[in-house]
Amino acid sequence: MAGKELNMKPIDPKLLEILACPKCHARIQEAADGLHCTQATCGLVYPVRDGIPIMLIEEAIRPPVSRQPQSSTGNG
Ligand SMILES: [Zn+2]
């Protein structure tokens, strides 16, 4: 049953336990597109390369900023 491994390797749960967001030191949660910071106010997403989480703020993907609904002249 030899098969090519995909780039998406499961991350060791033990590793996830010791991982923390370098920015806010919150727990990290694994997701399909990377590792999500569990801190709602932070919400950075860290990429995973070859099964190795890149825990760098510079490499982290910032979540789309939810802009506050600003009441401007326009019919919504
Ligand atoms: Zn964080």
Give domain status of residue 28, yes or no: yes
What is the whole-number distance in angstroms between the Cα of residue 43 and the centre of ligand 1?
Answer: 6
What spacing in Å lies between the alpha carbon of 60 and ligand 1's midpoint? 10
> What tens digit of pLDDT does each residue of 35-44 get?
999 999 999 9
Report how far ligand 1's centroid is from the alpha carbon of 74 (Å).
36
Q: What is the pTM of this model?
A: 0.70
Is residue 44 situated within a structural domain?
Answer: yes
pLDDT, tens only, 24-71:
999 999 998 899 999 999 999 999 988 889 999 999 999 777 676 666
Would residue 58 count as lying in a domain? Answer: no
Name the nearest CA neighbour of 43 among 59, 28, 58.
Answer: 28
Q: Taking a C-beta distance cutoff of 8 angstroms, is the pair 59, 46 a contact?
A: yes
Residue 36: inside a domain:
yes
Asked whether residue 17 is domain-assigned, the answer is: yes
Domain count, the chain: 1
Kindly state whether residue 27 falls inside one of the protein's structural domains. yes
7 within domain boundaries: no
Residue range(s) defining the domain that contains residue 25: 13-53
Cα separation of 52 and 72, whole Å?
45
